[in-house]
Amino acid sequence: MKSSCLASWSFLFLIGVLTPCAHGQTVLRIEEDWELQVTQPDSQIDAPQIATMLFPGGEDDDVYFQLKINHASTPTFSAGGLQIISTVDGTDLQQRRQHAGQALSHGSETVRWTQVVQLTAAGFYFGIVNGTGTTWELFGGEESFVYLSHVNAGFESLENYSWDDSVRNTGVTFAGNRVSNLKLKRVRTYDSAGNVTETTLNASAL
C-alpha cells in the first residue's frame, strides 16, 4: 500500500463535503481497476457475460451499482456492449448503455477498465473510465456515469465501502468456460486533503 499527495486532481464532478476518514479527512472518490481475460468468445450467443457490483455503503445495504459486460439486463435483456446501473432495493433507478449490440468477438482479448464511485454534496456518481479492449477499443467516460441521491441511498458517506464486497459479488454469469481471468487489480482512495492511497490486490472474482 502506498500513499501520495497530489497537487491537483481532476474530478468529473464538483465535490461537496462528506465522509470522515483517517486524519479527519473525508473519502471523496474510490477507483477500482479491473481486468478481464477472454479466451474464445461466441458473438452469436453473447458469450461470455460478466456482471460486477460495487456497494458504496457496504454489502449490508441493498444499494449498489452494477456493470453488465457483453449484455444489458434492464429493462429487458439486450445483446453486447456494456450497461451501467444504479440499484436500490432491487429497483434499477438509472442506467447508461454503451456499444449496444456489439458483442465480444476476439479470441484471447484482454479488457481493462476502472470503476469509479464519486461522492458529492448531491449524492453518488458511478461510472467507467479508461476502458480499453479489442472489441470496443475505448469505452466509458463521463457519459457512462449514473447518479444516486443521498435520499435514495439512505446514507451520505463512503466509509463502509469495501473492495472485498465488490470481488465477492462480481463474476461470470454466463459461459464461464470462455473466461480465463477476472481480477480486481488495484483500488485507489482519494480524500479531501488530496491524498491518494493505492492498494495492489490482484484479487480473483472467478
Rg of the chain over all Cα atoms, to the nearest angstrom = 17
Is residue 1 exposed (0-12), middle (13-18) or buried (19+ Cβ within 10 Å)?
Answer: exposed
Give per-residue pLDDT as tens, 5-22: 222 334 343 333 333 444
Cis status, amide bond into 56, omega within 30 of 0: no
Q: How far apart are CA 206 and CA 175, in angstroms?
A: 12
Q: How far apart are CA 79 and CA 77, in angstroms?
A: 7
The set of residues, in sequence order, having a beta carbon less than 8 Å from that of 64 and lying 6+ positions away, is 53, 54, 55, 56, 87, 169
Three-state DSSP class for 203? strand
pTM of structure? 0.88
Average pLDDT (125-131) is 98
Question: Residue 86's beta-bridge partner residues?
Answer: 65, 94
Give per-residue pLDDT as tens, 35-55: 999 999 999 999 999 999 999
Q: In this predicted structure, what is the pLDDT of residue 46?
A: 92
Q: How many CB atoms are located within 10 Å of the residue 17 CB?
A: 12
Give per-residue pLDDT as tens, 150-168: 999 999 999 999 999 999 9
Which residue in 126, 120, 117 sits closest to 147, CA to CA? 126
Q: How far apart are CA 110 and CA 133, in angstroms?
A: 6
